Homo-oligomer: A and B are copies of this chain.
């Protein structure tokens, strides 16, 4: 569910966008003036902005320039003007796209997707953190108290799987299947060895685990202090 802010002074355009975007998993917010639009950006924190150029109170390019002083939210310009100079100026001022009215709704949606798609990598949080233990799934790195821990592939796989299950109990069979695939007839013995060596690396006192907890007869879970 993405939030989109429509800044346009024509009520019928806002209505059209509210309806058509509302059907497509967007939460739509409206602002009739640039001034109210700027305020709305602050309070609403939209994921993307649709900005009309013909606003009564402020030139669209001025509004965009001001916005770009402090925000990198994607902005798509909607305008009746089709002059190349306008388009170039707005795109260089930081707009992400420029559509000429009357625009086609499906195309607008596709172009909104493009603008949002390029944003993903920075937005995505892919770290597990719990006490002083930290797992960065992107970097594939593990650290305790800021100190990096070296794990073997299997050890990392176990820890990552338990972390992804967020403290819930994971049965042995599920872990075995996760590590060696559903077909392999995996030995529980091998798993026990990996658990042991993993504990040596992430537990203060490996003989009394504080994180990697055994649930007797069931499996294991990652306890978050």
Contacts and interface: CB of A to CB of B under 8 A. Distances in A.
Interface of A: 84-85, 87-88, 91-92, 95-97, 104, 106-107, 109-111, 113-115, 118-122, 138-141, 152-153, 167-169, 215-218
A87 B85 CA distance: 23
A120 B122 CA distance: 8
Given A92-B110, A118-B119, 14 more contacts: A84-B104, A84-B106, A84-B107, A87-B110, A88-B106, A91-B107, A91-B113, A91-B114, A95-B114, A97-B114, A118-B118, A139-B169, A152-B216, A153-B218
Nearest to A167: B139
Contacts of A218: 140, 153
A91 B122 CA distance: 21
A149 to B, nearest CB: 13
